[in-house]
Chain A
């Protein structure tokens, strides 16, 4: 089975721009979660989508949004980029998105804001 695929791997943007990141989960997985990872804050939960519905959300501003398509692929959008948004953005998939299941991570998108 192919793993979780995230595109692009690297992205450079400037302040005020917006960005869209993509995540293709493992086939058969209906839950996709997004995380932001920075050296200072570690791995922070952004949101989770299950069957095209946002089921869970972390403590991030409304500039961070996402969606999930009928094939379970997910996109994450960040608008009005700020310097502090520079981070590794990871997505993870699982069958049902329950804590009793392992999360399968992609290798992330490294976003740099200039």
Chain B
């Protein structure tokens, strides 16, 4: 069956350290993978998109890698801050029964940065 799994529901990281979140998928071959941040009571906010032919993408303190052989994406936040505390969701494109693509989301990882 097709699955998108994000490592542990919750992750606690000390302020200043690098937080690494994992997104693993099975039985998909996505061309794109996206990462979102969601704060309590709010909608997800887009962070980064990476294509299958890109190994790595960076934006300020954020870095995403995409390994299509391992079927895995890693999301890194360097020099983490308490304000980075949120739930992070990965999403990838899958073919639907309608014959076109749609974004499918993982269940998310709740990240807490401890001061």
A contacts, CB < 8 Å to B: 4, 33, 35, 42-43, 45, 48, 55-58, 90, 92, 98-100, 102-108
Interface size range of chain B in the complex? 20 to 34
With beta carbons under 8 angstroms apart, the residue of B31, B93, B98, B105 that contacts A55 is B98
**Is residue B43 within 8 Å, beta carbon to beta carbon, of the partner chain?**
yes
Majority SS of interface residues in chain A? strand
Give Cα A56 to B98, complex, Å.
Answer: 6
Q: Is B55 an interface residue (CB 8 A)?
A: no
Contacts between chains A and B (CB distance < 8 A), count: 68
| B104 (CB) vs chain A CBs: closest residue | A45
A-facing mask of B45-89, CB < 8 A → 1, else 0?
110010100000000000000000000000000000000000001
Residues of A within 8 A of B100 (CB): 55-56
Give A59 to B52 CA distance when docked, in angstroms: 27
Assess A105 versus B98: contact at CB under 8 Å? Given A45-B104, A100-B49.
Answer: no
Contact call B108/A45, Cβ cutoff below 8 A = no
User: In the complex, are the beta carbons of B34 and A43 less than 8 A apart?
Assistant: no
Cα–Cα, bound, A33→B43 (Å): 13
- Ranked 4 nearest A-B pairs via Cβ: A99-B93, A105-B43, A102-B46, A42-B107
Question: Which residues in A have their C-beta under 8 angstroms from that of B51?
Answer: 100
Kindly identify which residue among B31, B34, B98 contacts A102, using a CB–CB cutoff of 8 Å: B34
Q: How far is the CA of A45 from the CA of B105 in the complex (A)?
A: 8
